[in-house]
Amino acid sequence: MHGATLMIGDQIATDIQAGKQAGLPTVLVTTGVPPRDSPALAQRDFVVSSLAQIAIPVLVGRPRQRSA
């Protein structure tokens, strides 16, 4: 199974722009700034209104790493 990295944030000017600069897919959570009707929303890859809307796979039965 391969992992994926996303930049998730609630502000386009900081969070989403940082993700774009790093070459990552971005997810805007609309609980922060700006409002939903902002023209700047076109810069993000995905929009959600809650973190609960993001499906995160859980690895069941994966061995835990022991700390040294």
Q: How far apart, in whole angstroms, are the C-alpha atoms of residue 50 and residue 63? A: 30
pLDDT at 12: 84
pTM confidence score: 0.65
Residue 2: phi and psi, rounded to 5, are -100, 140
- Given strand 7-9, what is the order of strands in its sheet? 7-9, 26-29, 46-48
Q: How far apart, in whole angstroms, are the C-alpha atoms of residue 25 and residue 19? A: 7
pLDDT in tens, 21-46: 999 999 988 886 655 566 666 678 88
pLDDT at 64 over 60: no
pLDDT at 3 over 50: yes
Structure tokens at 31: 């609980």
pLDDT at 55 over 90: no
Please give the DSSP secondary-structure letter assigned to residue 20.
H
